[in-house]
A and B are shown apart, each in its own frame.
Chain A
Amino acid sequence: MDNKLSINFNDEEISLTKEDQKLFQKLIEERKAKLAKGTIEDYLRMLEKMKELEKKEEIILHHVHEEYQPRLVKTLSGRIKKIPTVELWQHKSCGQCGHIPGYISSLYWIMNELNIPYVDDTNQTSCTAWNYYGSGTSNSIAITAVFLRNMHVAYEKNAYPLIHCGTSFGDYKECRYLVVMSDEIRNKVRAILKKIDRDIVIPEELVHYSEWLHVMRYEIAERKKFNVSNIKVAVHAACHTYKLMSEDYTYDDNILNGIRPAPTSSIVLALGAKLVDYSNWYDCCGFGFRHILTEREISRSFAYFRKIKPIVEETQADVLITHDTGCVTTLDKSQVVPLAHGYKETIPVIADSQFAALAMGAHPFRICQLHWHIADWKNLLNKMEIDWQSAWDDYKKYIEELKKGAKPFLLIPPPRKLQPRIRDERKNLNGEE
């Protein structure tokens, strides 16, 4: 690659050396980090008000108490955040569960390996932010009530919410801000929740699963079975984890100079893989909610020409790792059409949980469910020295057994130590027992 970036502006050629480009980018990132420190005041005010509302018994705060065995991280703002590590209420993502199930099965498998109890609940809805952000078919009251309904269920189960989806995580940060700061929203939502026999329960911390992987990375790395030191990994951080209410996501001075999000990059580093950098790291994946479904051309173009192609050209990475449903889907599925048009650049796209599970020796298909992904992962597995062909043969055999009526293998969580707070004897919606 040319060592210079040159552009022509009003017939004048302006050029920047690669070193200057890097310095320029670093300065911009540092400025952003400082800027967020300026905006944190509002966020801290919200956290203070949340405690005041708890004292007035207007809300119940779901604290990250000691039984959740919290670990501390620093957020962009410098605030210390508590990340629970056990007894987790798995807040599943509607996108990943629908068509990239290996994301979640890998996470559950890792927790089982680490003997971490959790709840896989059927009394959960998605955040419904797909309608809120994507199509304007929700509103602030509905979206906040949905958030609080789910949070109340987790509180009843005495398990701490661990949010799988980047959008749900960002949306819940926004909802929490609104319900705490706006009396009007709080009162309206309270009235609705009362009718379904629920209270306003707000988690003290909102936690994305990538933050859990971040704090657990050394335990995970200890259980590594495959050497990944020759694997080059590019990371895409999901916009809604670190741009939507940017103050409240994990940063670490030792990871990417503390000026870019730490999770996902940190697990890659802990596992001993080579983390590679690329110029468009800040760009989104091209998902766009409605666009990924009904205006796919723009999603596809953005994903390929702003992410996939530059990543492959600049880094020759072996895999692109991210931590959100929409990002995995968009970056993975958007490679088919450009390849059909003769473009050559392609890279497998998987979640951080899948990469970690693979390194720990999880079955690539029974657990990591790689067959749901499109971009070719065979080279990656070959380089990791995982015998994917035998694993695939084994999976096909398993499928044949299932077809004959065999019982499916299920990931059963380790026994819980905490008991549910409230027995499930709720009234139904007509007020009857």
Chain B
Amino acid sequence: MMDYEYYLARLNEDGWYYGGLPGLQWETEQARKQNREFLKKIVDELYNDERFHEFYYACINCGNCTSVCPPFRFVDFEPRIVVQKIMHAKDEPELLYQMMDQYIWACFQCYSCWDICPAHNNPGGLVLILKEIAVKNGLDSSKKALEPYSKIVYKIMTTGTQITPDMHTTIALFRDWGPHKAELAKNIRIDRKAVPVPSMNGVMDKSWKVDERTMKELMYIHKEAGVWDSIKKTLKDVVDMIEETAKEKGIKNG
């Protein structure tokens, strides 16, 4: 039997531990706060996901994935670490938790790692499953990561489209586009009327005209697939809004 306290004690203040995630003090503290059963539940959710065995074989620690990983060049993130932690997660679930509480959100999901891995692992795919588990369990990191992102989640789940022209009508979003942004915002309604694609012409609140029935089918799919329920712990307000919109269209949750 493994001595849990012993392992937890080894998560020192610098966050160094097996495999090494230096500087992750916040994540270490978060891992310390959790009880063992919760940590094991998270590992079980990962291992029982139907995609897991398509995405994970065994890591040979070659580091090819890290060598091509875009975030690795600019922030503290390594796909090799992700697969290594997952490989040891059954015995040491606190390590998995330490990593999934914030660390994984740096992933670009570009899949360069999957493309290059000689052992056919899919680190980006594994991160994707971990993000879903983090959101489902309402981890603090997922709340922090997704808070500024909630409008996108709402748009996609209710209209099936995301970046919409009306998002450009204020200066707040994309302000680093410089003077072009202000010019774009000023003329956007008339410029949209000049887009010659019939399904897009003049449309401001979606990327293109989406039929009412199409939006209803989409919401129905998300409801039936359990997406609304699975994100409640992280994005409760967004789910409330989605359910309200769905209700107006005649779709009820539960």
Contact = CB atoms under 8 A, between A and B. Distances in A.
Interface string B149-168: 10011001101111111011
Contact of A302 (B49, B73, B165): B73
B254 interface: no
A408 interface: yes
Contacts of B142: 136
A288 B197 contact: no
Interface stretch (A118-126, A271-279, A377-385): A118-126
A270 interface: no
Nearest to B177: A333
Interface string A84-113: 000000001111011101001100110000
Interface in B209-248: 209-211, 213-218, 220-222, 224-227, 230-231, 234-235
B196 A411 contact: yes
Nearest to A413: B198
A124 B160 CA distance: 8
Contacts of B231: 137
A145 B225 contact: yes
Nearest to A339: B178
Contacts of B162: 94-95, 98, 126, 130
A99 B163 contact: yes
B51 A178 contact: yes
Contacts of A145: 221, 224-225
Contacts of B14: none
Contacts of A95: 162-163, 207
Interface string A25-39: 000000010010001
A134 B214 CA distance: 23
Interface stretch (A3-11, A57-65, A252-260, A398-406): A398-406
B97 interface: no
Interface string B188-211: 001101111111111000011111
A395 interface: yes
A170 interface: yes
Interface residues on A, range: 35 or more
Given A97-B207, A99-B163, A288-B70, A410 B196 contact: yes
Contacts of A146: 160, 218, 221
B230 A196 contact: no
Contact of B112 (A99, A198, A239, A298): A239
A346 interface: no
Contacts of B153: 131, 135, 137
B195 A105 contact: yes
Interface stretch (B3-11, B35-43, B88-96, B128-136): B128-136
B50 A430 contact: no
B163 A196 contact: no
Interface stretch (A202-210, A216-224, A227-235, A367-375): A367-375
Nearest to A39: B120
Contacts, number: 277
A139 B230 CA distance: 9
A286 B69 CA distance: 11
B227 A138 contact: yes
B201 A403 contact: no
Given A122-B209, A340-B178, A284 B110 contact: yes
A98 B159 CA distance: 13
B207 A137 contact: no
Given A137-B235, A333-B177, A302 B221 contact: no
A128 interface: yes
A428 B161 CA distance: 22
Contact of B196 (A123, A195, A409): A409
Nearest to B135: A136
Interface string A329-351: 00001001100100000000000
Classify the secondary structure of B's interface with A.
helix
A95 B161 CA distance: 8
Nearest to A189: B225
Given A122-B210, A240-B111, A402-B190, A196 B221 contact: yes
Contacts of B75: 298
Contacts of B54: 177-178, 181
Interface stretch (A48-56, A289-297, A314-322): A289-297
Given A122-B210, A123-B211, A284-B108, A139 B180 contact: no
Contacts of A289: 108-109
Nearest to B153: A137
A149 B70 contact: no
Interface string B163-179: 11101100001101110
A428 B213 CA distance: 8
Contacts of A226: none
Contacts of A182: 50
B93 to A, nearest CB: 19
A36 B112 CA distance: 13
A131 B153 CA distance: 7
Given A333-B174, A398-B194, A429-B217, A120 B199 contact: yes
Interface string B60-79: 00000000101101110000
B103 interface: no
B227 A137 contact: yes
A184 interface: yes
Contacts of A426: 213
B160 A125 contact: yes
Contacts of B128: 132-133, 136
A374 B208 CA distance: 22
Given A98-B161, A142-B221, A336-B177, A125 B210 contact: yes
Nearest to B164: A98
Contacts of B111: 170, 239-240, 243-244
Given A126-B156, A185-B50, A243-B111, A298 B71 contact: yes
Given A99-B184, A108-B196, A136-B142, 17 more contacts: A101-B197, A105-B196, A137-B135, A137-B146, A137-B153, A149-B218, A178-B54, A185-B50, A243-B111, A290-B105, A302-B74, A333-B174, A369-B195, A372-B184, A408-B201, A429-B217, A430-B250
Q: Considering the complex of A and B, which 4 residue pairs feature the smallest CB-CB distances, nearest first?
A: A125-B160, A136-B131, A142-B225, A97-B207
5 contacts: A99-B163, A140-B51, A185-B50, A306-B70, A402-B194
